[in-house]
Amino acid sequence: MSKITIIAVLSLLIIEIMNFAEATTCLTLETCDCCSAPGEQKDICNKGNTSNWRCTYGCIDGYYGGKCYNRCPEHCKRCAREFGVGRHTDYQKCYLCADGYYNGTGVTNCSTPCPTNCAENQCDKTTGKCLQGCTSNWSGDKCNVCADTWYGNNCDMSCPSKCKDKKCDRNGDCTTGCEKENFKKPQCDQCIEGKYGHNCHIDCPSNCAQNQCSKENGHCASGCKAHFKGDTCNKCSPGYYGANCTKRCGQCTSGNCDRNTATCGKGCRAGYSGDKCCVKNDNCEKCDTTTTCSKCKHGFYNESCNMPCPDGCAGPACNKQTGECDSCNTGYYGTHCSQECFENCRNSECDRENGECMECKAGHHQIGCNSTCPDHCLNGICNRLNGRCDDCMLGYFGPSCEHKCSKNCVNETCEQDDGTCLHECIDDNGNDCKEDKSK
């Protein structure tokens, strides 16, 4: 016998001994307990030769060999009966697996458990396909995917209620979109950008950064746009005002101003004035913008109210833009009341525009009262424009009282216009009081 043959026989003996050690109560020479007994058969083994008897109809499930003493592999319900040269590994090939097991890819010993979620733990012994369907919430040929409307590692969680058709993947992400508009994937539990509320039907505050806000309360989740503040970004940041909070406040003490009017409620910083603290001086009463004044305090004018009104203005008030006086103090005229009335104007009063005296002081005439009245005007009064005397002193006549009345007139009184005697003549001087007969 060759060495190769001896080695092969020894290997078979070792395997037989190992299988013999695994035998159960069937391992006995007196009984045929592991032999199959179909129907009412009684002679299920041939014991004519004690050492060489064999089971006539094969083995019961789980055993193999001529005498059926050897166990099939674990989880194998039915395997090859014979064992010998050329077939010594056939016993490891299962023809029928025990419940709960099947031959997976490249496996013939029924060592692959049926998929965990097969109903009644039943699966096809070749493919592993679940034969009785799946346990609750599972689906698929091998019950390894979640049934519709379920997700999670154990498919024990319901798909989000807002998934369209209540369908989602294993992670709970909606696979067919969202049931209602304004919701967004993956789980349709958040509003699309720009919306909030239980049904995502309310617009986010317009000044939220990136148009994002909390679904629950509409608070701006990513902060505010430039120059806005507050949970809903409905207030201006310190130092800003206006509908869009883009305008800068004036020099308010607190740095803040009214959003609508820009007025400084707590006053101005040192050196600034106006209701909006718009100019750097103390001369503004009301501001037009946060940098220009619309109404100066009395005595000042121009955009910044830093020019004093002319001294001749009455009030003292002047036009804010030009500095022109509303009215002049007595003795002044001109748009800025900067020119003095003529010195001979009566009561120092003259026309506001051209400086003409309203009336002259006694003894003066002309526009500027700069000419003296004729010497013989009564009380020194003459017409302001032409210099004619209103009345003449006693004994004089003519437009300027430049002629003397005749000495022949009683009391030397005569008419101012033509010099005729007002009263009778002296007797010896003729009827016309002009001829002096004494000569």
Tell me what percent of the residues of the chain surpass a pLDDT of 70: 85
Cα separation of 309 and 437, whole Å?
A: 74
Cα separation of 100 and 18, whole Å?
A: 26
Tell me what percent of the residues of the chain surpass a pLDDT of 90: 42
- pLDDT for 53 equals 73
- pLDDT for 28 equals 53
- pLDDT for 41 equals 65
For residue 371, give the 3-state DSSP assignment: strand
Peptide bond before residue 310 is cis, with ω within 30 degrees of 0: no
pLDDT digits (tens, 9 = 90+) for 65-105: 778 888 888 888 888 765 433 344 455 678 788 889 988 77
pLDDT digits (tens, 9 = 90+) for 296-315: 998 999 988 999 999 889 87
Average pLDDT over residues 355-379: 86
Average pLDDT over residues 132-155: 93
Is residue 79 left, alpha or beta, with left meaning phi > 0 and alpha meaning psi from -120 to 50?
beta
Pairing of strands 190-191, 371-372: unpaired
Distances (CA, A) of 359 to 376, 399, 426: 20, 20, 41
Contact (CB, 8 A) for 259 and 241: yes
- Looking at per-residue pLDDT, the higher value among 66 and 241 belongs to 241
Is the four-CA dihedral 19, 23, 26, 31 of positive or negative sign? Answer: positive
CA 52-55-57 angle, to 5 degrees, is: 150
| Confidence category of residue 280, pLDDT binned at 50, 70, 90 | very high
Q: What is the mean pLDDT of the chain?
A: 83
Q: Which two tokens stand for residue 107?
A: 């496996």
- pLDDT for 6 equals 47
- Looking at per-residue pLDDT, the higher value among 94 and 404 belongs to 404
Cα separation of 390 and 157, whole Å?
A: 122
- Looking at per-residue pLDDT, the higher value among 409 and 43 belongs to 409
Mention every residue, 6+ apart, whose C-beta is less than 8 A from residue 154: none
Q: Which two tokens stand for residue 435?
A: 């001829």
* pLDDT over 60 (residue 16): no
Closest to 340 measured CA to CA, from 369, 317, 348: 348
The amino acid sitting at 236 is C
- pLDDT for 429 equals 54
- The answer to whether the predicted template modeling score (pTM) of the entire model surpasses 0.75 is no
Is the four-CA dihedral 241, 246, 252, 256 of positive or negative sign? Answer: positive
The amino acid sitting at 312 is G
Cα separation of 364 and 373, whole Å?
A: 5
The amino acid sitting at 354 is N
| Confidence category of residue 144, pLDDT binned at 50, 70, 90 | very high
Q: Which residues lie across from 313 on neighbouring strands?
A: 328
pLDDT digits (tens, 9 = 90+) for 31-64: 677 888 776 666 677 665 556 777 877 788 888 8
- Looking at per-residue pLDDT, the higher value among 104 and 179 belongs to 179
Contact (CB, 8 A) for 276 and 284: no
Cα separation of 246 and 239, whole Å?
A: 10
Closest to 265 measured CA to CA, from 294, 242, 257: 257
Rg (CA), the chain: 66
- pLDDT for 20 equals 40
Cα separation of 336 and 348, whole Å?
A: 17
The amino acid sitting at 375 is D
- pLDDT for 78 equals 83
Mention every residue, 6+ apart, whose C-beta is less than 8 A from residue 14: none
- Helices and strands (H, E) in the chain, number of each type: 1, 28
* pLDDT over 70 (residue 187): yes
User: In the chain, what are the domain boundaries?
Assistant: 58-113, 245-308
* pLDDT over 70 (residue 4): no
- Looking at per-residue pLDDT, the higher value among 94 and 403 belongs to 403
Cα separation of 28 and 143, whole Å?
A: 44
* pLDDT over 90 (residue 26): no
Tokens 């503040």 correspond to: 229
Is the four-CA dihedral 307, 310, 313, 316 of positive or negative sign? Answer: positive
Poorest-pLDDT segment among 17-21, 107-111, 281-285, 382-386:
17-21
- pLDDT for 59 equals 82
